[in-house]
């Protein structure tokens, strides 16, 4: 449970950072200035990434086996 709480807090912090970044970009656009590169990249959603990893890990045994999808080779 503590890990879930940490992920939730990270998600809250990420959304807050995204809102602040959006406000900064809007201010630069209104002022007619170029948007700095650090404000052009979206803030990653750590909570969603953790849920994706959690879902991908469920139901696949111990998780130590590699999927066939990751090692498919095409020969022409």
User: How do the domains of the chain map onto residue ranges?
Assistant: 3-56
**CA separation for the pair 19, 3 (Å, rounded):** 24
Residue recorded with tokens 């990420």: 14
pLDDT bin (cut points 50, 70, 90) of residue 7 is confident
Q: What is the pTM of this model?
A: 0.52
Percentage of the chain exceeding pLDDT 90: 18
SS3 call for 65:
coil
pLDDT in tens, 29-58: 999 999 888 888 876 766 667 677 666 666
């Amino acid at each position: 449970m503590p890990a879930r709480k940490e992920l939730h807090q990270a998600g809250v912090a990420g959304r807050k950072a995204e809102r602040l970044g959006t406000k900064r970009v809007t201010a630069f656009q209104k002022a007619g200035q170029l948007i700095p590169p650090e404000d052009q990249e979206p803030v990653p959603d750590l909570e969603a990434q953790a849920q994706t990893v959690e879902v991908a890990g469920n139901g696949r045994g111990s998780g130590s086996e590699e999927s066939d999808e990751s090692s498919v080779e095409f020969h022409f």
